[in-house]
Structure 1
Amino acid sequence: MTATRRRLAQELGVVTGFEDPVAALEQYHTPPDLAAHIVHVADLQGDIEDETVLDLGCGTGMLSLGAALRSPARVVGVELDADALVTARENERRVGARADVAWVRGDATRLPLCPPDCTVLMNPPFGAQDGNEHADRAFLETAAEVARVSYSVHNAGSESFVESFVADNDGEVTHAFQAELELPHQFDHHETEAGVVDAEVFRIRWRDGA
């Protein structure tokens, strides 16, 4: 029986975040509630079950493992940070993933593998760091190349940018909803102890039939 969204969030509550987050990579822990929401919506849309799910910039595995609890054909998490992948493998054991998960070290914007038309899940960097502006664009470019459909988290106010990019790449935004990201005090440039960042999640259809 398919787990409810609340149950999925509870299962993902054991997933640990980055031990030593890298500011340049904008490494933040995806909240279990948000991951459960994204995966639940994707499952309802028929984008998880029996599908190949690709998590771009998977970090410590939150979205990958959420998908792995929902009957995909397989899940592939791609992450540049080797330490994060070590944690992702540990999280896989904690969660007790019920599907095959492959953890691949590589640049999500220059994929080291060629998956078939797949479902992409991603919480890419927003491009908030100097020299890293529009970092989420490169992730969208990868999704446009390989995905049948994708789900991505972006900074609030990104709707016009996302819709314009998608239209230019023959895709379509089919769903959008607001979300919140907890921003802990983990880097020197943070001026407050913790905060909440408004975000937006988009479902994008890149291939016919999605």
Structure 2
Amino acid sequence: MKLKQLEGIISQLVQFQNPKIELEQYSTGAHIASRMLYMADSSYDDISGKVVVDLGCGCGTLGVAASLLSADHVIGMDIDADALDLARENSLELEASIDLIQGNVASFRIEGVQVDTVVMNPPFGTRQKGADMMFLSSACQIANSTVYSLHKSSTREHVKRVALNNFGAKTADVLCQLRYNLSALYKFHKKQEVDIMVDLWRFTLQKAI
């Protein structure tokens, strides 16, 4: 599947209509999601034929993209039942095969399944300090091979240091910097939209497969 084709398909997905601020719910746009998953697949062979977990899956955008790119098994996890309903609607609409699980990222583990790759767009940690790193910690425990994640570019040095020193990452590389177009979703947003620079990270893990 070509990049533009993937972006066009996932741009049809239903996104949050009433996002929950306490969970920092923001949709992952088709432009970013398609490039994230396409690069993971075409450049690193981390999606097709692999077991992929979409951690904090929200509307299911990353998980659907992984399924469209021929992942062997996709699991989407989110704490929010309403988000999982949207993810289920989206996966059914595009005939994407995703197992959806409700759970808390801090304690979420998968038994009996060897997870190759975790993909995620975690909270940036602006409402709940440290939420971004809590997601990354959990992802590094769940995945056996690689983690792909989006983090604010302003946190780059901190993310790299903690991933390598505390979370067992063997490598931590910024693959590219992307412009995250954040539309006004909450009452405290004073602008119609704002651009946030984010890093697309690839972490490899020190685990025996």
Indicate the TM-score class for this superposition, using the shorter chain for normalisation.
over 0.9
- Paired position in structure 1 for 2:133: 137
- Paired position in structure 1 for 2:161: 164
Q: Is the 8 A contact 2:51 2:116 kept in 1?
A: yes
Name whichever of 60-69 and 140-149 sits farther off. 140-149
The Cα of 1:149 is off from its aligned counterpart by 0.3
Letter in 2 for 1:139: F
Q: Is the 8 A contact 1:27 1:125 kept in 2?
A: yes
Distance in 2 (CA, whole Å) between partners of 1:107 and 1:191 is: 31
Letter in 1 for 2:136: L
Give a deviation string over 1:125-164, Cα, whole Å, max 9, x none. Answer: 00111xx112111011111112110000001212111110
SS of the counterpart of 1:153?
Answer: strand
Distance in 1 (CA, whole Å) between partners of 2:101 and 2:71 is: 18
The Cα of 1:113 is off from its aligned counterpart by 2.9
SS of the counterpart of 1:154?
Answer: strand
Distance in 2 (CA, whole Å) between partners of 1:17 and 1:207 is: 35
Give a deviation string over 1:103-143, Cα, whole Å, max 9, x none. Answer: 111112211533424200000000111xx112111011111
What is the aligned residue count?
A: 204
Distance in 2 (CA, whole Å) between partners of 1:6 and 1:198 is: 22
The Cα of 1:50 is off from its aligned counterpart by 1.2
Distance in 2 (CA, whole Å) between partners of 1:209 and 1:152 is: 22
Using structure 2 for the length normalisation, give the TM-score.
0.92
Letter in 2 for 1:127: G
Structure 2 residues without counterparts, runs of 5 or longer: none
The Cα of 1:101 is off from its aligned counterpart by 0.9
Partner of residue 39 from structure 2, selected from 20, 38, 41: 41
Structure 1 residues without counterparts, runs of 5 or longer: none
Letter in 2 for 1:111: F
- Paired position in structure 1 for 2:2: 4
Within 5 A, what are the aligned runs for 1:64-79?
64-79=63-78
- Paired position in structure 2 for 1:178: 177
The Cα of 1:16 is off from its aligned counterpart by 1.2
Q: Is the 8 A contact 2:21 2:186 kept in 1?
A: yes
Distance in 2 (CA, whole Å) between partners of 1:174 and 1:127 is: 20
Partner of residue 102 from structure 2, selected from 102, 105, 122: 105
- Paired position in structure 2 for 1:122: 120
The Cα of 1:174 is off from its aligned counterpart by 3.7
- Paired position in structure 2 for 1:203: 202
- Paired position in structure 1 for 2:55: 56
Letter in 2 for 1:202: W
SS of the counterpart of 1:53?
Answer: strand
Distance in 2 (CA, whole Å) between partners of 1:209 and 1:106 is: 26
Letter in 2 for 1:204: F
Q: What root-mean-square deviation, in Å, do the aligned CA atoms of Structure 1 and Structure 2 show?
A: 1.6
The Cα of 1:52 is off from its aligned counterpart by 0.5
Distance in 1 (CA, whole Å) between partners of 2:22 and 2:41 is: 32
